[in-house]
Structure 1
Amino acid sequence: MPDPTTSYSDLRALVINCTLKRSPERSHTQGLIDISTGIMQRQGVQVEEIRAVDLDLATGVWPDMTEHGWETDEWPVVYSRVMAADILTLAGPVWLGDNSSVMKKVIERLYACSSILNEHGQYAYYGRVGGCLITGNEDGAKHCAMNVLYSLQHLGYVIPPQADAGWVGPAGPGPSYLDPGSGGPENDFTNRNTTFMTWNQLHLARMLKDSGGIPAHGNQRSEWDAGCRFDFENPEHR
């Protein structure tokens, strides 16, 4: 049932699917993404999805790796989409109890741009909301979520309550999320957490957008570099 008091139709969300499978191969992670994005779209949110493995993303920790010896790098295009979004969800599978190599590369490239400042002198990702979705048929979903959510908040994203959801089948070989008989799409725990996560992202993004983002005091890199210490004792600065 839609929230009768709040509109979310001016919000934009980006989901980066960090599956190892290139399009059009079926992604189990996409099945879980579809639940979250469906909720957003029913609220009028403009949702964009990227499957990172389909792109030529260079390895490295600079915003544009073509300036550092790589012939091609599609990350600058992805970054522009990241910056256009109020909400970022990173989604991916569990491999060997950890995030996929694609997820790690995406986080590294987000990190490569984390020193860029916004118009207020804050780090560029300030005022945006993060979250994650994890799938697999082995243990490790919470470990993967911890890594993703820590990384996002470290870069400047705001993390709402219960900002992750996931599904993993029995340990060892077995059906994945969308396989017949997996029970994944019907799992009440997963469906509840995915729904709560999505609404928490929407609520927090609405609050941040309405308030103009994170207040720009005490967190401005530009001012710190200029000598301002925001009540950290510094008698040399007036």
Structure 2
Amino acid sequence: MPMPMHADAAFRYDDLRALYINCTLKPTPERSHTQGLIDISTGIMERQGVQVEVLRAVDIDIATGVWPDMTEHGWETDQWPVIYSKVMAADILTLAGPVWLGDNSSVMKKVIERLYACSSILNERGQYAYYGRVGGCLITGNEDGAKHCAMNVLYSLQHLGYVIPPQADAGWVGPAGPGPSYLDPGSGGPANDFTNRNTTFMTWNQLHMARMLKDAGGIPAHGNQRSEWDAGCRFDFENPEHR
């Protein structure tokens, strides 16, 4: 494993795990422009010793639905439970995908739906399962809509329980109208300073936030425990029956 860039223990990240889910519509081995942007972020993490895994969701048999395992609801196969185990093993989750008709890809929407399907699961402290993890997103395209897509992804992740650090999104889109995509010759994408800066800042902010959360043992378990709320605890919310 490569040594972290910083020797000071406060800046070590080599005990962290990061998962990137590429929501391109293109199956492997087709070239994914989104993967080109993912590679910038993963490169930074890997140089810090982070254990990184990248999945291409379209290559995986993910059933449609809003239950943790759709084979229990009529589907013959569903590999989402395997992905969910990787999600739960990761300190950092980055969802990445293209812009289509100004919106996220159908694959991105399916991944978010399946994340949502598991959002009612609780951790050992009675909090929602995704608590204590960091989220972010990367968007590519050759049409407008990157910020709209990022807003949807980041809102969805925080709603599920992820912590969103500052500036946790980055993207690249070409000029308005049909044109080259990120990795196409002449696009200027890989050399774009704005995109490279934002991708770098996003990645480091994810690392910093994940470091703080891991060192703190996650989000403090008070005032946010579904199990305690269901048992009648109201955490200073006015409740005449439980004084």
Q: Could you say which TM-score interval applies, normalised by the shorter chain?
A: over 0.9
SS of corresponding position for 1:40 = helix
Q: What's the CA shift string for 1:38-59, capped at 9, x where partnerless?
A: 0000000000110000011000
Taking the aligned partners of 1:169 and 1:162, their CA distance within structure 2 comes to 21
Over the matched positions of the two proteins, sequence identity in percent amounts to 92
User: For residues 220 and 84 of structure 1, do their structure 2 counterparts lie closer, same or farther at Cα, with a shift above 3 Å needed?
Assistant: same
1:230 shift after superposition: 0.2
Residue 143 (structure 2) aligns with: 138
Corresponding residue SS for 1:135: strand
Deviation at 1:5, TM superposition (A): 4.5
Task: Provide the secondary structure at the position in 1 that maps to 2:123.
Answer: coil
Q: Which residue of 2 aligns with 1:110?
A: 115
Deviations 1:53-85 (A, max 9, x none): 001100000000000000000000000000000
| Residues 197-221 of structure 1: per-residue CA shift (max 9 Å, x gap) | 0000000000000000000000000
Residue 236 of structure 1: CA displacement?
A: 1.5
Partners in 1 of 2:92 and 2:60 — Cα distance? Answer: 21
| Partner residue in 1 for 2:61 | 56
Q: Distance in 2 between matches of 1:49 and 1:184?
A: 21
Unaligned runs of 5+ in 1: none
Displacement of 1:227 = 0.3
Instruction: Report how far residue 105 of structure 1 moved.
Output: 0.1
Aligned residue number for residue 77 of structure 1: 82
2-structure distance, mates of 1:33, 1:189: 15
CA distance in 2, matches of 1:237, 1:47: 47
Q: 1:171 Cα shift?
A: 1.2
**TM-score, normalization: structure 2?**
0.96
- Whole-angstrom distance in 1 between the partners of 2:145 and 2:237: 40
Inter-partner Cα distance in structure 1 for 2:240 and 2:178: 63
Secondary structure, in 3 states, of the residue corresponding to 1:107?
helix
Alignment deviations for residues 109-153 of structure 1 (CA, whole Å, 9 cap, x no partner) = 000000000000000000000000000000000000000000000
The whole-number CA distance in structure 2 between the counterparts of 1:24 and 1:217 is: 47
Residue 185 of structure 1 and its aligned partner are, at CA, apart by 0.2
* Cα deviations by residue, 1:147-205 (Å, 9 ceiling, x for unpaired): 00000000000000000000000111110000000000000000000000000000000
Q: Distance in 1 between matches of 2:119 and 2:42?
A: 26
CA distance in 1, matches of 2:70, 2:100: 27
Q: Which runs of 5+ in 2 are unaligned?
A: 1-7
2:212 corresponds to which residue?
207
The 5-angstrom pairing of residues 216-227 of structure 1 reads 216-227=221-232
Write the distance in 1 (CA, Å) between the matches of 2:95 and 2:121.
Answer: 20
Quick one: structure 1 residues 5 and 209, their matched pair in 2 at CA, closer, same or farther if it must change by over 3 Å?
closer
The alpha-carbon deviation at position 235 of structure 1 amounts to 2.3
Partner of 1:169: 174
Mapped to 1, the partners of 2:78 and 2:51 lie a distance apart of 26
2:101 alignment counterpart:
96
